[in-house]
Amino acid sequence: MLDQEKTFEPLIVAFCCNWCSYAGADLAGTSRLSYPPNVKIIKVPCSCRVDPIFMLRAFGKGADGVIVCGCHPGDCHYSTGNYFTRRRFALLFSLLDFMGIEKERMRLEWVSAAESAKFARVMNEFTEEVTKLGPNRRLMDIRNLPEGYEELGRGPHREVLDAQAPHARNIPSVVKIEEQMKARATKLLADGVVDRVLAWKAGDHETMPEPAFFDHPSQIENMVYNKYCAHNLSKYLMVAPWLGGKLFDGSTLIFLKPCDSYSFNQLIKENLINLEKTHIIGIGCGGTVQVEDLEEVGMWEKCGVCTKIHHPVGDEIIELENNSPRLDKNARFATVEAIEALSADDRFAFWQSQLSKCIRCNACRNTCPVCNCKRCVFSNNKYDMASKVNATEFEEQLFHIVRAFHVAGRCSDCGECSRVCPQDIPLHLLNRKIIKDINEFYGEYQAGQDIAAPEPLTSFDLNNDGQAGKN
Amino acid sequence: MEKIGFFVCHCGSNIKATVDPNVVLDGVRSIPGIVVAEQYPYMCAKTGQNMIADAIKTNGLTGIVIAACSPRMHEATFRKVAEAAGLNPYMVEIANIREHVSWIHKNKEEGSQKAVALAKAAIAKVKLNAPLFPEENSVIKRALVIGGGIAGIQAALDIAEAGYEVDLVESSPSIGGKMAQLDKTFPTLDCSACILTPKMVDAASHDKINIMTYSEVEKVEGFVGNFTVTVRKKARSVCMEKCTGCGDCWNKCPVKNIPLEFDLGLQNRKAIYIPFAQALPLVPVIDREHCIMMKSGKCGLCQTVCQPGAIEFDQEDELVTQKYGAVVTATGFETINLDKFGEYAYNDSKDVITSFEFERITHGAGPTGGELKRLSDGRKPKSVTFIQCVGSRDISGRGKPYCSKICCMYTAKHAVLIKDKYPDVNVNVFYIDMRTPGKAYDEFYRRGVEEYGVKYIKGQVGKVVDKGNCLTISAVDLLDNVKMELETDMVILATAIQPVPSAKPLASMLSASIDTNNFMTEAHAKLRPVESPTAGVFLAGAGQGPKDIPETVGQAGAAAAKVIGLLSKDVLLSNPCTAMVDINACNGCSLCAPVCPYGAISYGPATVNDHGLKTIERVSHINQALCQGCGACVVVCPSGAMDLQGFSNKQLLAEVDALC
Amino acid sequence: MNKTYKIALGNLSKLYGRINETQQIYLPVRRGGTLNFEKWHESAVVDLHGLKTTNTPKDLFLPQSEDLYTAKMDGTNIEIITKDFFDNAFVIFGVKACDIEAIAVMDNIYLSKHPVDMYYEARRKNAVLVSLACNAPKNACFCAAFNIDAANPKGDVATWILGEYLYTQAQNGKGKAFVEDIMGLFEPAEADDLLGLKAEIAEKAQSLPYSKLPLESFTGENMMKIFDHENWDFLHRACIGCGTCTYTCPTCSCYDIKDFDKCSGTTRFRCWDSCMYPEFTLMAHGNNRLTQKERFRQRFMHKLMYHPMNYDGQFGCVGCGRCINKCPVSLNIVKIIKSLGVEVAENANA
């Protein structure tokens, strides 16, 4: 064993900014300051050019440590690039740590062109630290079913899962605004204010309403609104014909539950909604329920911890009679905190056990209002990322990390990803972890609240990001 | 199929001593695509260069990799070699096996293997390189200077002197800015007007300078070398050409008692007025808000008395659109509002004034004709107290977190001015820290203390109360650590300064960034202090950060030099390593624009052709002339629609793959 | 009639252990909150009482992804390293009647016509299917609509849970050999013991809300009528284009073949694909189905028309009800059958 440890030579990839750290590495060479040959440098124009995917890919392909080096804050050749880097990697490292992946394998360091000694020292330290950790496996295995696993549903994991299970104790409030909604829809259609209505239509079974468009007042009788209408309608109104088909020219009335309205507002912020042709009616919500075999099995976790009772956007509002917040606003973080409290090994085991169930059906992605790319990076050829599969040794392992990260700062915590997961993976916990981190590191932020507010990952604070960003 | 040439340099023994070139060559020779693999003692020498050029020509190479010293050393050299041999210069990659390998690793085996790894990464990258071509953009030989204070005047003069046309835009009726309001300047105490007015006249009479006062920038389009700017010339209601500046109109105007902005409201003006006697142009404006003729259509006295017939009530705002190669922002500063600082009784007492108001009081043309008087009762004060850092260095959120920089010195100036004219007046100054770096600044301040007997008290004032015939000040003397009460007749507040409110919308029009305090941001705090991150936009004066007159003039000159350097070029070659959008993948989500420090990203409709299915969609657009190639936008683009030429996603991933 | 045996439920883990000595055994395991077919080991939480696994047994015959071969390049030499066919005997235990029928659908697709799919065949040959009757079919189940008998599941060996016992009957030679091998753990039982249970199950299955569906119109002569039906315009409208229905469907069998550069070489693999995806059968000229309506229609036309037309009336749906439970937007095949089946029948009569 000891012998093995001695012979283990980690592979370390260093992304160095051209203007500072790469020059710092050059100066280390000129000054003959040695550091281990394990470190291989890739030059980038700016540390902000380093996509988290590069780091994950390096891990996925066998790197044991990855380090990103940039100019000191305030010294960026491009003024502000490293401030984005700082936030991006602070959140990424924290997310990976949350998944039980050794955060010691990844680093962000500021090295100036003059700091050759610092460059050599950092590389020596980092190599030593990674050597101690041994070969990188976790990022490669996060979605593989562990051989001879223990039943991970017991112990602390059980508690986490129980918190996610349908909340039988929470009873949805009775919603009696369906008739009001129908009346408004009929009126607006009849008056020609809108050309169609987006709402829910009755299914063949009470528990099976589906999102639907209504073009004519006579169809409104099929409209329903009840505790089974969990679906977030936001994405159906995206300007670009998202799934092909013709662009709709007319105007649309959309009904939005409070949580949906945050998603919708985020889409407005991202310029993906033609607001001029949209009439929005915010509607109250008493919570929605999970259905299995056409039977109600309890309230969705997302509704159990919901605090969104207001609509940040809307032309009209149809409120419930008794609208009151259900929980204090941080209650939703309880499960995230429970996972944070586990050991790194347990966190990894938890996520491995969950993510190994994934069948890559893409329901989480396709339902997510902010997963609104025309072609997902996992479906196009931009990063050479294989799609459609769940196989070993592939970047596929990274799907859920990249998915959560790509919506960081944009996710309004609508919880749809977990609601639609056929394998009941609590995916939204990854997003919620990022939200929690953003709140703690950079101040409270609710996506979809205010379309003028700068987003956490595309803005920075000169003064306050430092401490939080440090890993 | 690519044909790659690979060359290892020995760099004499610099590389060869710890990296075996043969091992490196053997390590890469069998990589698909490698058709040439050679070594030479000095690749950068003429013979080495010829070797590469010959290989390119003989084998029709599509890309080359040179394993040698740092690209910072000779990448440019090898790119030129490639270009001369007919290969696009961006088809060259360098594997840095000297600084990153041979000079730091002593073990030859390890060093050689690392060199192979770096070579493989460079080869993997070069296979994905694409020929890149810089764009050429012509330069409009005309500059726009925004702001007609001393910064703008100086910049305009310097640019015009170099022979370029300059438009100087000023929002108020006259150029001159804050400096025109000052009485004397520190540390020499020469009269502000005496040194400023000649500059104003120079600018006004310069045949290359076109001054547009009472005008504001309305719209900016374009980019470095080719901005199109629309300026709104507000209706002056007085014909510039006909007016002689005789003054008959404002003498006759029946509307009085309008606070004169130039005097910070301490004197009144008419509805038709000039802000100050030396105003340039010496043409009045009609304040339409107060003019009776404008409000009710009855009056017209000014028109009656104007002999040249210059009064034109029906004038309308005029929009002037002009093209410029460069823009200088010299928007300046103002003092902050003191509503949140109730403890200083500024709003309650006429005898508590700001330092800028004091400038007018001590000024010969000011409300008191230059005599020191209490504004409440006209009494000459026996004691005057200055309070420093009012709203500056304030982290409570009421004021500004930064040091306003000029206050220590102007307070020293004011104290000396009072003592010089009225040696019997007691002058106290409450300060937190004295900051007097600058040529002859500290000497000046010490003269105030030592020769004039100005009393400096280190401490902060807690409260000022107006007792009617005097004011009381409660403060703490921090050096003696005692609470103190002081009676005084006049309090002068060194109020924090901030950028003018119009700076923010202007910055957004120019896509120039501003910091959290709305000061214009420089492209690099140390190395490019007079340039905005947006190419072609330059910074002068206090709009970039608090500064005094000499600094402002110096910065204006530096900005002018940068403008002249830019305008002296006929065309600009853009850096071809810029971001690029695949409009087929872009959905216009607009995440990319906020991270671009150069304002190079805009959104607009484009025809997207997806396998023959054509739609018009709102997508991202990169202005190649503005993009500097940092890659910030690429990483925030979740779909990978945005990519960076020269450092593309696939190129960097290929390097990662080759190393791992 | 094959002989009936029984084993106390309490002894089942012994049985699994015994089977595991010679071959791998997959069965419904509850892990991380979900029921799926997983490889048995001692601490696995086996749950035979759960109704449906999320994953279907098809995972074991058509894995979500499977390497085919690797090509290594050295200079101008290319070395092809092929993968051996799967060759380990294994048992799937506790497969419900619908999923057993689904395997028959898959067999038709992959084995009934030449060329047979050798990868599928290798796994299929090595497997013993042990089915389990559904004691408590639920509302979303509609196997009865396809004349599948939940009380008498097929497979190589059929089992029933009655009281505290698991009853078993071999269904064919393969099953017989399997049962004989583990006979020591069983005790003989009477086939008649099961009659009451079977009647109860049959009655339940017939009384479920979707047990009778208007499938009569889905015949070859109505193909174009159904294809061109205007109802598709609204039926597909809520579809978000994910692959949940396809990947949890026991009969969806489409795959894609892709190459992946592993640096050590390029590996060609095949993986599940979904006709719901815009990238499905993507070619240089683009996609042959440009809108979600066309993709959506394809899936149901395939299940209800094309498959039966190609395979002697066998529907491509077995009524397992997974799509009813799992579709993010509450779409499912029952809604399609009801909408089109009724209207086409009515039009035909009119």
Rounded to the nearest angstrom, the minimum Cα separation between A326 and chain C is 25
Does C273 lie in the same domain as C167?
A: no
C115 upstream amide cis, omega within 30 of 0: yes
Chain C contact for B481 (CB, 8 A cutoff): no
Closest chain C C-alpha to B31 CA, distance in angstroms: 5
Same domain, B160 and B15: no
Tokens at residue B418, please?
């009072």
CA torsion B588→B590→B591→B594, rounded to 10°? 150
Closest-CA residue to C111 (of C95, C123, C99): C123
Inter-residue contact C110 to C253 (CB < 8 Å) = yes
Q: Using CB atoms, which residue from C43, C243, C291 is nearest to A243?
A: C291
C231 touches chain A (CB under 8 A): no
CA distances from A247 to A118, A169, A256, C234, C285 (A): 57, 44, 22, 16, 22
Same domain, B366 and B494: yes
CATH of the domain at B619: 3.30.70.3270
The CA distances from residue B217 to A459, B167, B322, in Å, are: 27, 11, 11
CB-CB contact of C246 with C274 (8 Å):
yes
The total of other beta-carbon atoms located within 10 Å of residue B234's CB is 18
From chain C residues 294-313, the ones with a CB under 8 A of any chain A CB are 294
End-to-end CA distance of chain C: 48
Nearest to B398 by CA among B363, B346, B450: B346
The answer to whether residues B426 and B471 belong to one domain is yes
In sequence order, the 6+-apart residues with CB closer than 8 A to the CB of B415 are: B386, B427, B429, B448, B452, B454
Mean pLDDT of C30-37: 86
DSSP code per residue over B161-222? HTT-EEEEE-SSSSS-GGGGG-SEETTTTEEHHHHHHHHHHHHHH-TTEEEE-SEEEEEEEE
Any C CB within 8 A of A298 CB:
no
Residue B398 sits in the same domain as residue B352: yes
| A86 in reach of chain B (CB within 8 A) | no
The string of pLDDT tens digits covering residues B574-616 is 889 999 999 999 999 999 999 998 889 999 999 998 877 788 8
Residue C80 lies in a domain: no
- B504 and B489 within one domain: no
Contacts of C261 in chain B (CB under 8 A): 657
What is the H or E stretch that residue B549 is in?
A: helix B549-567
CB C84, CB C292: distance < 8 Å: no
Is B211 inside a domain boundary?
yes
Same domain, B327 and B345: no
Task: Give the structural domain span for C276.
Answer: 220-349
DSSP H/E element including A290: strand A289-292
Give chain C positions within 8 Å (CB) of A231: 238, 328-330
Question: Measuring CA to CA, how many Å separate C35 from each of A83, A159, A357, C49, C325?
Answer: 45, 18, 10, 10, 14
Query: Do B456 and B327 have their domain in common?
Result: no
Task: Tell me whether residue B407 is in a domain.
Answer: yes
Interchain CB contact of A204 with C (< 8 Å):
yes
Interatomic CA distance for residues A267 and B430, integer angstroms: 54
Length of chain A: 471
Asked if residue C61 is part of any domain, the answer here is: yes
Q: Which of A208, A235, A386 minimises the CB distance to C260?
A: A386
Dist. CA B384–CA B488, nearest whole Å? 6
In a domain, B625, yes or no: yes
Cross-chain residue pair A54–B523, CB shorter than 8 Å: no
A144 touches chain C (CB under 8 A): no
Judged by CB atoms closer than 8 Å, whether chains meet at B597 and A78 is answered as: yes
Is C293 in the A-facing interface, judged by CB distances under 8 Å?
A: yes
Residue B311 in domain: no
Indicate whether B573 belongs to any domain.
Answer: no
Q: Say whether A373 and B106 touch across the interface (CB within 8 A).
A: no
Parent domain of B258: 248-305
Q: What residue ranges do the domains of chain A occupy?
A: 2-141
- What is the pLDDT, as a whole number, of residue A149? 58
C164 and C297 within one domain: no
Nearest Cα of chain C lies from the Cα of B32 at a distance, in angstroms, of 5
Q: How many structural domains compose chain C?
A: 2
Same domain, B357 and B471: yes
Same domain, C312 and C282: yes
Indicate whether C302 and C190 sit together in one domain: no
pLDDT at position B515 is 83
Q: Which two tokens stand for residue C350?
A: 């009119």
Query: Of C251 and A386, which is predicted with more confidence?
Result: C251
* Domain boundary pick from B567, B592, B624: B567
Which residues of chain A fall short of a pLDDT of 50?
A: 1-5, 152-153, 467-471
Identify the DSSP state of A100: T
Q: Domain boundary at B537, B567, B597, which?
A: B567
Q: Find the closest chain A residue to B645 by CA distance.
A: A45
Are C304 and C164 part of one and the same domain? no
- Chains B, C: CB contacts under 8 A, how many? 19
In this prediction, residue A153 carries a pLDDT of 46
CA–CA dist C131, C160 (Å, integer)? 8
Q: Measured between beta carbons, which residues in chain C are less than 8 angstroms from residue A215? A: none
Q: Using CB atoms, which residue from C240, C278, C290 is nearest to A367?
A: C240
Look up residue B431 and give its amino acid: Y
Report helix angle A52-61 to B649-659, nearest 10. Answer: 30
Q: Are residues C263 and C184 in the same domain?
A: no
Residue of chain A whose alpha carbon sits nearest to that of C270: A389
Residues C233 and C160 in one domain: no
Separation CA C147–CA C98 (nearest Å)? 10
Scanning B488-548, the segments in alpha helix (DSSP H) are 503-510
Q: Are strands C24-31 and C4-8 parallel, antiparallel or unpaired?
A: unpaired
Residue A20's identity, in one-letter code, is C
Residue C168 contacts residue C19 (beta carbons within 8 Å) = no
Enclosing H/E stretch for A440: helix A428-442
Average pLDDT of span C282-300: 89
Say yes or no: B364 and B222 in one domain. Answer: no
Residue B384 shares a structural domain with residue B481? yes
By CA distance, what is B535's nearest residue in A? A78
Min Cα–Cα distance to chain A from B615, Å: 9
- At B91 the pLDDT is 97
Q: How many CA atoms lie within 13 A of B516 on its CB side?
A: 11
Closest CA of chain C from A201, distance in Å: 10
pTM listed for this prediction? 0.81
Does some domain include residue C75? no
Contacts of A236 in chain C (CB under 8 A): 238
Q: Quick check: B190 contacting C, CB < 8 Å? A: no
Q: Which chains touch C (3 or more CB pairs under 8 A)?
A: A, B
- For residue C257, CA distances in Å to A4, A362, A387, C254, C269 come to 39, 19, 11, 10, 6
Burial of B629 (0-12, 13-18, 19+ CB in 10 A): buried
> Residues of B with CB below 8 A from A74's CB?
525
Task: Search chain B and give the residue with CA nearest A462.
Answer: B516
- For chain A, the distance separating the N- and C-terminal CA atoms, rounded to the nearest angstrom, is 30
| Contact indicator for B14, B74 with CB cutoff of 8 Å | no
Report the number of distinct structural domains present in chain B: 5
Question: Within this chain, do residues B10 and B89 fall inside the same structural domain, yes or no?
Answer: yes
Query: Does residue B240 lie within any of the structural domains?
Result: no
Eight-state DSSP code of residue A447: T
SS (H, E, C) chain C: CCCEEEEEHHHHHHHHHHHHHHCEEEEEEEECCEEEEEECCCCCCECCCCCCCCCCCHHHHCCCEEEEEEEEEECCEEEEEECCCCCCCEEEEEECHHHHHHHHHHHHHHHCCCCCCHHHHHHHHCEEEEEECCCCCCCCCCHHHHCCCCCCCCCCEEEEEECCEEEEEECCHHHHHHHHHCHHHCEEECHHHHHHHHHHHHHHHHHCCCCCCCCCCCCHHHHHHHHCCCCHHHHCCCCCCCCHHHHCCCCCCCEEEEEEECCCCEEEEEEECCCCCCCCCCECCECCCCCHHHHHHHHHHHHHHHHHHHCCCCCCCCCCCHHHHHCCCCCCHHHHHHHHHHHHHHHHHC
Q: Are the beta carbons of B610 and C285 separated by less than 8 Å? A: no
Pairing of strands B482-488, B461-466: unpaired
Residues of chain B with pLDDT under 70: none
Shortest Cα distance, chain A CAs vs residue C272, angstroms: 7
Give the chain A residue whose CA is nearest to the CA of B595. Answer: A458
* Overall average pLDDT of the C214-227 stretch: 93
| Rounded Cα–Cα distance for residues C282 and A375 (Å) | 13
CB–CB contact A271 B104 (8 Å): no
CATH, residue B350: 3.50.50.60
Distance CA B512, CA B521 (A): 7
Asked if the C-beta of C83 comes within 8 angstroms of chain A's C-beta atoms, the answer is no
Mutate to test the interface with C, among B28, B34, B127, B611 (most CBs of C within 10 A): B611
What is the secondary structure of B179-191 as a DSSP string?
GGG-SEETTTTEE
Q: Look at residue B269 and tell me if it is in a domain.
A: yes
Residue C319 domain-assigned? yes
Same domain, C32 and C99: yes
**Residue in C with minimal Cα distance to B658:** C263
Is C145 in CB contact (< 8 Å) with chain A?
no
Which among B211, B229, B218, B224 has a CA at the least distance from the CA of B155? B211
Distance CA(B209)–CA(B607), nearest Å, equals 43
The contacts found for B54-57 with CB under 8 angstroms, 24 or more apart, are B54/B85, B55/B5, B55/B7, B56/B5, B56/B82, B56/B85, B56/B86, B56/B87, B57/B85, B57/B86
Fold of A2-141: Rossmann fold (3.40.50)
| Whole-complex ipTM | 0.93
Assess whether C109 and C257 both reside in one domain: no
Nearest CA in chain A to C138: A293
CB < 8 Å to C234, chain A: 212-213
B256/B200 same-domain check: no
- Shortest Cα–Cα distance, B29 to chain A (Å): 21
Provide the mean pLDDT of chain C.
Answer: 92
